[in-house]
Structure 1
Amino acid sequence: MKPFSRADRVGGLIQQVVAELLHKQISDPRLAGATITGVKMSRDLRLAKVYFCTPAGEASRQDALDGFERARGFLKRELAQRLTLRYMPDLRFYYDGSIDYATRIEQLLKAVKQDDSDHH
């Protein structure tokens, strides 16, 4: 069995190109500091779910979603030029809350550790 499916490889390429475009060619202030955390492709390669996070966290999620929606056409055109795919997948953008969740867990663990050290 192959270690990575074609969908995984295409998703990785899309992630790389979108991240590069976001860093170098998109100047929308709503997307400043946004990071592409992953891309999940449908098996038929017709849909790409692009996951992102922002430095302001959950607070700037809607602004970033609006920015990505506005940049969708540009991103699809650039991806079509750089990738040789039979069909250009539809791009959908989703906020990745896992980093916020991990930060919250880390804060809770630090609080428990501090509380424990205060009692000893």
Structure 2
Amino acid sequence: MAKFRVGRVGEQIKKEISSIIQTELKDPRIGFITVTGVDITNDLSLARVYISILGSEEQKEETLKAIGRANGFLRSELGRRVKLRHTPVMEFRFDSSIAYGSHIEALLQKINQDSLGS
């Protein structure tokens, strides 16, 4: 039963964080960010927020630093929007699954081209 609640809370946090980043943050260092997932501990004390960022490696690093600086604001705004006894501490991490997926697709297309050319 508790796992269902953790999943629902994680999805709600994902939705709210995405909304806050898109509408509330005005930092020019923050580029285009997609919140791809949230892993939350069973006691709801820590939330790992996975984000995908478009741009070069330098832009990604700058965006991650800006998100780190805005962590307090994000947490307080999340506390206002989601009614929990304790707002979880948020940890932001890169999600490279989209880039990895496009790399694999490019490799598969290359293999397909090579097999058709033979």
TM-score (norm. length: structure 2): 0.91
Residue 28 of structure 1 aligns with which residue?
Answer: 27
Residue 86 of structure 2 aligns with which residue?
Answer: 87
Q: Measure the CA separation in 1 of the matches of 2:112 and 2:51.
A: 31
Give the match's secondary structure for 2:103.
Answer: helix
Question: Does the 8 Å contact 2:13/2:78 carry over to 1?
Answer: yes
Q: Measure the CA separation in 2 of the matches of 1:96 and 1:103.
A: 13
Q: Measure the CA separation in 1 of the matches of 2:104 and 2:62.
A: 25
Larger mean Cα displacement after TM superposition, 83-92 or 21-30: 21-30
Give the match's secondary structure for 2:70.
Answer: helix
Q: Deviations over 1:63-106 (max 9, x none)?
A: 22101101101111111111110011000000001111101000
Q: Deviations over 1:28-77 (max 9, x none)?
A: 23322111001110000000000000112655332221011011011111
Residue 109 of structure 2 aligns with which residue?
Answer: 110
Give the match's secondary structure for 2:37.
Answer: strand
Question: 1:13 is matched by which residue type in structure 2?
Answer: Q
What is the aligned-residue identity percentage?
A: 36
Question: 2:97 is matched by which residue type in structure 1?
Answer: S
- Paired residues in the alignment total 118
5+ long unaligned stretches in structure 2: none
* Gap change, CA 1:7 and 1:57, over 3 Å in 2: farther
Question: Does the 8 Å contact 1:58/1:100 carry over to 2?
Answer: no
Question: 2:93 is matched by which residue type in structure 1?
Answer: Y
Q: CA deviation at 1:21?
A: 0.9
Question: Does the 8 Å contact 2:54/2:60 carry over to 1?
Answer: no
TM-score (norm. length: structure 1): 0.90
Question: 2:40 is matched by which residue type in structure 1?
Answer: M
